[in-house]
A = this chain, B = another copy of it.
Amino acid sequence: MKRSGMAAVVALALGVTAGTVLAQAKPEVLVKQRQAVMTLQGKYFGPLGAMAQGKAPYNPDVVKRNSAFLDNLTRMAWDGFDPSTKDVKSATLPAAYEQQAKFREAASRLENEANKLWQVAQTGDEAAVKAQIGAVGKACGGCHNDFRQKQ
């Protein structure tokens, strides 16, 4: 459990540095990279959502693997929402660039919920896992409601 928590702290501490490293990336590349993260979040969250809704059998090993991946993935997209990307075609609403404090707060919420899911997954408590899958889904939706075009 130590590794994930530490990684989150390191990621926060790296905010400026990572931004600097990425400053050279073209806006189109940043958009492609952040969309890649969303694609993979869908890949690994989808089966968990199905389990939480009783549409797929509960599989604690898949929960452990997917939640570890999601704990990492949820920290990969944010530096891609650089203001330099605002004119690149995507589903992102202008609010994501204009309301940066609110955006960051929603991003942190997802990171925290995903990290909690990974922690709960280690316990194997099915009811707690399913409740936390719901919390992650809610955090995804919270950000999409405010910052993504309706689909």
Contact = CB atoms under 8 A, between A and B. Distances in A.
Contacts of A7: 64-65, 68
A17 B7 CA distance: 28
Taken together, the copies of this chain in the complex come to 2
A57 B61 CA distance: 40
Contact of A10 (B3, B61, B75): B61
A127 interface: no
17 contacts: A3-B3, A3-B4, A13-B61, A14-B61, A14-B65, A21-B47, A21-B59, A21-B62, A33-B40, A33-B43, A36-B39, A36-B40, A37-B40, A40-B76, A43-B76, A69-B72, A72-B73
Interface of A: 1-4, 7, 10-11, 13-14, 17-18, 21, 32-33, 35-37, 39-40, 43, 47, 56, 59, 61-62, 64-65, 68-69, 72-73, 75-76
Contacts of A32: 39
Given A14-B62, A40-B37, A56 B21 contact: yes
